[in-house]
């Protein structure tokens, strides 16, 4: 049976922080719904109504474009071990970019990860738990090193070029507004 909460309880916070993977869902009007897995110790619970995750450079930047256009975001956490549980956070998301005055304080909350492009902050409006009985068991074997290795090989200049080329627009043509074109005109 689903249960709703007004805020993240201490028990739910512990559950969230123990998970190796979580999922982010966003959409904008007339766009495809995006659902992305996240991991690599990138989540921080800031308080009972605010969470943040460090977002790394990837093949697209749908989340940023959707948050700019709409702002709605859902996060989902699942237990894959003996205690079944699904936890969803419903809220409004916003970005903190490297050019933002809040970046130094926020980035200090995370371990350094090559390829970091933005921090997604979620202002939680509603919290929901459900049984999770249909979620299978899985055993965590470790983080994949491929994304970190790729970012290290690209270097910061290569990552900036990649983001300008591949992260400027969503797959539906929505602007992400996360690329600093003034510093690097085309």
Domain residue limits, the chain: 3-166
Under a CB-based contact definition with an 8 Å cutoff, are residues 43 and 77 in contact?
A: no
Q: Please determine, for residue 185, whether its predicted confidence score (pLDDT) is greater than 80.
A: no
Under a CB-based contact definition with an 8 Å cutoff, are residues 23 and 36 in contact?
A: yes
The model's pLDDT over 81-97, given as tens digits with 9 standing for 90+, comes to 989 999 999 999 999 99
> CATH says 3-166 is which class?
mainly beta
Give me the percent of the chain exceeding a pLDDT of 90.
Answer: 94
pLDDT averaged over every residue in the chain: 95
Rounded CA separation 63/73 (Å): 9
The model's pLDDT over 25-58, given as tens digits with 9 standing for 90+, comes to 999 999 999 999 999 999 999 999 999 999 999 9
Output the pLDDT for position 180: 64
Place of tokens 């409006």: 125
Output the pLDDT for position 107: 98
Q: Please determine, for residue 183, whether its predicted confidence score (pLDDT) is greater than 50.
A: no
Sign of CA dihedral 82, 137, 50, 91: negative
Per-residue pLDDT, averaged over 58-64, amounts to: 95
Cβ neighbours of residue 115 under 8 Å, at least 6 residues apart?
56, 57, 147, 148, 150, 151, 154, 159
Rounded CA separation 44/24 (Å): 14
Output the pLDDT for position 181: 46
Q: Please determine, for residue 182, whether its predicted confidence score (pLDDT) is greater than 60.
A: no
The model's pLDDT over 100-121, given as tens digits with 9 standing for 90+, comes to 999 999 999 999 999 999 999 9
Per-residue pLDDT, averaged over 65-85, amounts to: 97
Q: Please determine, for residue 184, whether its predicted confidence score (pLDDT) is greater than 80.
A: no
């Amino acid at each position: 049976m689903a249960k709703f909460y007004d805020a993240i309880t201490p028990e739910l916070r512990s559950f969230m922080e123990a998970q190796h993977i979580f999922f982010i869902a966003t959409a904008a009007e007339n766009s495809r719904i995006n659902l992305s897995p996240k991991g690599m110790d990138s989540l921080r619970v800031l308080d009972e109504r605010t969470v943040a995750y460090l977002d790394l450079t990837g093949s697209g930047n749908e989340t940023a474009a959707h948050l700019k256009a709409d702002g709605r975001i859902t996060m989902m956490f699942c237990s894959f071990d003996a205690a079944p549980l699904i936890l969803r956070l419903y809220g409004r998301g916003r970005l903190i970019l490297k050019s933002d005055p809040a970046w130094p304080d926020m980035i200090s909350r995370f371990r350094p990860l090559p390829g970091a492009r933005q921090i997604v902050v979620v202002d939680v409006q509603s919290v929901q738990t459900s049984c999770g009985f249909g979620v299978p068991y899985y055993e965590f074997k470790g983080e994949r090193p491929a994304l970190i290795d790729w970012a290290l090989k690209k270097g910061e200049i290569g990552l900036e070029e990649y983001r300008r080329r591949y992260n400027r627009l969503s797959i539906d043509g929505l602007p992400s507004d996360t690329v600093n074109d003034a510093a690097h005109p085309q």
